[in-house]
Amino acid sequence: MPLYEYRCVEDGSLLTLLRPMRDADAPVDDPEGRGRTWERVQSLFSVDAAAAPERTPPSGGCCGGGCGCGH
């Protein structure tokens, strides 16, 4: 399940929820029970290149050899 971020319309605080994609735009229950309104915001994240696994570039041309184009 993906993580989604929501901002409180009243005070601007942020909330991160793990939800199914089908529920991404569904209303959010206020975790503190104060009845605040939450709107989904664009999430920003980064990946530490030193922590990322090493990747070997595909061989076989422009598509990695998967389409049979001969490159």
pLDDT in tens, 3-55: 999 999 999 999 999 999 999 999 999 999 999 999 999 877 666 666 656 66
pTM score: 0.59
Do residues 31 and 18 make contact, with C-beta atoms less than 8 angstroms apart? Answer: no
Sorted by where each begins, the domain ranges of the chain are 3-17+26-41
Tally of CB atoms within 10 A around 6: 20
The closest alpha carbon to 43, from 9, 10, 13, 3, belongs to 3
